Amino acid sequence: MRHITQKWKNGQTSDENTFVAINERAIYTLDPRINKKQKAAQSKIYKTNPQFSKISTTLTGGFAIGSLDGSIRLYKEVGQNAKTLLPGLGDPIRAVDMSVDGTWIVATTQTYLLVIPTLCSDGKTGFETKMGKEKPKPKKLQIHVKDLAKYNIRSVDFTPAKFNNYNISSGDTCSIVSSSGPYIFTWNWKKVEKGLLKCYDIKKIENTSIVDS
């Protein structure tokens, strides 16, 4: 098994008992309440190997799966084919996270982040319908060479990026956060949304362990 997550985004705050899991070529819905012989309540197994690596779910049960080849697939539910295949840039996807409303994805690679919108012109998302010609070009977030030199960062090794600082009443996102070594990187979400991709803050944390989750 490569990765496991709640069936719904923020499912840990509810009494939902099922999980979604992946290995490199299959997707499963797991229910700990069923008998030991039948581990998967639902499943989809690919004949070819898509090299699945990480999964993230939406509030409505849709989910995105990143692969080692850099692609990201969007699904409405377990058992169905992907509604949308986003090609990525060729580097392995380490993590995937989604905004509360499911209209944005942030995917983590070792040296950069990809921010991808999922909303189509008809108001549906790529989880619900095929995006086709509306497939977006991902926004690439990376640390500028001048900042690497300024902070004496020899190499970047990003931990899973997250949409952060939700406004509870509106569901708005304020930032995207990741880290590398003792450094925390925070991108201003409103500016990223407008295409201003170099608007980030760097903070060094002394004597603190940053956990990869």
In terms of pLDDT, which residue wins out, 164 or 173?
164
The beta strands (E) that lie in the chain are given as 3-6, 19-23, 26-30, 40-45, 52-57, 63-67, 72-75, 84-86, 95-98, 104-108, 113-117, 139-141, 162-164, 175-180, 183-188, 200-204
Coil vs helix vs strand at 145: helix
| Other CB atoms within 10 Å distance of the CB of residue 12 | 9
Whether residue 212 lies inside any domain: the answer is: no
Average of per-residue pLDDT across 198-202: 93
Determine what percent of the chain is predicted with pLDDT higher than 90.
Answer: 67
Whether residue 109 lies inside any domain: the answer is: yes
Q: How far is the first Cα of the chain from the last one, in angstroms, to the nearest whole number? A: 16
Residue 183's pLDDT is: 96
Alpha-helix residue ranges (DSSP H) falling in the chain: 145-150, 189-193
Whether residue 23 lies inside any domain: the answer is: yes
For residue 50, give its domain range.
Answer: 3-204
Residues in Cβ contact with 50 at an 8 Å cutoff, skipping those fewer than 6 apart: 24, 25, 65, 67, 69, 71, 73
Coil vs helix vs strand at 199: coil
In terms of pLDDT, which residue wins out, 48 or 164?
48
Task: Give CA–CA dist 166/174, Å, rounded.
Answer: 6
Whether residue 139 lies inside any domain: the answer is: yes
Q: Which of 49-63, 100-114, 157-171, 185-199 shows the lowest mean pLDDT across its residues?
A: 157-171
Beta bridge partners of 122: none
Residue 61's pLDDT is: 85
Give φ, ψ of 146 to 5 degrees: -65, -35
Tokens of residue 54, six digits: 């990480």
In terms of pLDDT, which residue wins out, 167 or 175?
175
Whether residue 80 lies inside any domain: the answer is: yes
CATH code for position 177? 2.130.10.10
Please count the structural domains in the chain: 1
Helix count (H) and strand count (E) of the chain?
2, 16
Whether residue 209 lies inside any domain: the answer is: no
Cβ proximity of 187 and 199 under 8 Å? yes
Average of per-residue pLDDT across 93-118: 95
Determine what percent of the chain is predicted with pLDDT higher than 70.
Answer: 85
Question: pTM above the 0.85 mark?
Answer: yes
Cβ proximity of 6 and 15 under 8 Å? no
Whether residue 47 lies inside any domain: the answer is: yes
Residue 174's pLDDT is: 85
Whether residue 119 lies inside any domain: the answer is: yes
Cβ proximity of 24 and 52 under 8 Å? yes
